[in-house]
Every structure is written in C-alpha cells, then in structure tokens.
Amino acid sequence: MIPNTMINKLRDLLKLPLPGWDAQKILMPEGRNIKGIPDNLQSASVLIVLYPHNDEWHFPLIKRSVDGFAHSGQIALPGGRQEHTETGIETALREAEEEINLSATSVEVLGLTSPLPIPVSRYLVQPVVGFLHKKPVLTPDPREVEQIFSLSLRTLVDVDVQLETRHFQGHDWEIPYFEIDEHKIWGATAMILSEFRALVSQVI
C-alpha cells in the first residue's frame, strides 16, 4: 500500500493560495478569448480523483462519446453541469458516478483548484480533487463516455508540453497539449491539469 504522505501534503497545499491563471494559461490554446467573458456562465464541476495503482497515484480520464456537442470526442475529466442547489463538490461526485460508475461515498475530498471559464460552452468549471483508498472498478456510461483510461501523477509531472497548428476561424493557431499514449489532452482539461501538475510537482 502506498503511504498517504503525498495525499496529506496535497490536502494542505490546496488550502493555500493556488497557482491559478498563471499555471492554467500555459496550456491555453492560441486564439482563446480571454476578454469579455460573460458573467452569466453556467456552473459545472469536474473530478480529479486519485487512487493507488502499481505503487503510484493515478487518476481517471475519459474520452467523451462523439455526440456533436462542443466537446464531443475530447479527452476530459469526469464531470458536468451543476443542477439545482448542488455545490460544486456534489456536482463532481454525482457526475463521476453517472459517467464512470464511481461511488460518490467512496471519495474523500481533498479540496478545490481554481475555477476555469470555458466561453465556447458557456460554463464556469470548478475542479474538485479527491482520493480513494483502493483502485476502483470503473464502467463507462456509453451515452457520454467512449473510453476510460488512467494517468499517473509521475507521468503528468514529467510529460512535455507539445504544440500543433490548427486552422479555424480563418487563422492558423498554435494549440498546446499533453500527449499520453495515443491521447491528446488539450483545451480546458489541459488547462485544469496544468494547474494541478504545478501543485503535484511540489509534493510528489
């Protein structure tokens, strides 16, 4: 069993001032509108949930089903839109249970990282960090999730930021991303993980 030393350090670190935008913007795609973000964004949450596997801490990522919506087919953290009077934590846990069959009661919440506005889909996303005492058995909801895979914290800390050029809106833009196996992690998920890895690099 992996000692919880790193988990305890991370819990303490999440109570301190966060890297925030300085870390998020490292993975910001060129051309992303950072001015004039509307103040009526809908609240949403995602879950970064750590679990022990092969003497390392891992967390699950998903490949979203191709459904024609804004983030169709992209790599993401489990999560979604806040409903009714839910807190951000309640949303993240509920969505993870719905999308990957992760029992909400099994997650011990460690804290929150910085919210991230996503103008293209009109959400303000609150990342929630938690952990599990053992590796879970996860099952994708095929309506929303095509695939579940895991990423170790060591891989997240060590992986290089790469760039590729994409053409849209009549321009060529430089898009930063992480490549893990055959998966390209970019956009909002990469920006969230950029801040998370800035934190993890201090405790791993």
Domain spans of the chain, in order of start:
5-29+40-200
Q: Please indicate, yes or no, whether the overall pTM of this predicted structure exceeds 0.85.
A: yes
Percent of the chain with pLDDT over 70: 93
Higher pLDDT, 175 or 167: 175
When pLDDT is cut at 50, 70 and 90, the band that residue 185 belongs to is very high
Predicted confidence band at 148 (pLDDT cuts at 50, 70, 90)?
very high
| pLDDT, tens only, 149-167 | 999 999 999 999 999 998 7
Please choose, from the candidates 111, 113, 94, 110, the residue with its C-alpha nearest in 3D space to the C-alpha of residue 102: 94
Q: Which sign, positive or negative, has the C-alpha torsion 174, 175, 177, 179? A: negative
What does the pLDDT look like over 102-124, one tens digit per residue? 999 999 999 999 999 998 888 99
pLDDT in tens, 12-57: 999 999 999 999 999 999 877 665 566 789 999 999 999 999 999 9
Q: Report which of residues 199 and 204 the model is more confident about.
A: 199
pLDDT at 66: 74
* Inter-CA distances, 169 with 31, 73, 175, Å: 9, 20, 14
Nearest-5° angle of CA 130, CA 132, CA 133? 140
Q: What is the pLDDT of residue 100?
A: 98
CB 196 within 8 A of CB 48: yes
Mean pLDDT of the chain: 92
How many C-beta atoms lie closer than 10 Å to residue 119's C-beta? Answer: 15
Which uninterrupted H or E stretch holds 157? helix 153-158
Q: Residue 127 has what DSSP assignment?
A: E
- Give the closest residue to 179 by CA, choosing from 151, 198, 202: 151
pLDDT at position 162 is: 96
**pLDDT of 71 over the 90 cut:** no
Any idea which residue has 């095929």 for tokens? Answer: 142
What pLDDT shows up at residue 36? Answer: 55
Q: What is d(CA 80, CA 144) in angstroms, rounded to the nearest whole number?
A: 11
- Identify the CATH homologous superfamily for domain 5-29+40-200: Nucleoside Triphosphate Pyrophosphohydrolase (3.90.79.10)
Percent of the chain with pLDDT over 90: 79
**CA torsion 80→86→88→91, rounded to 10°?**
-30
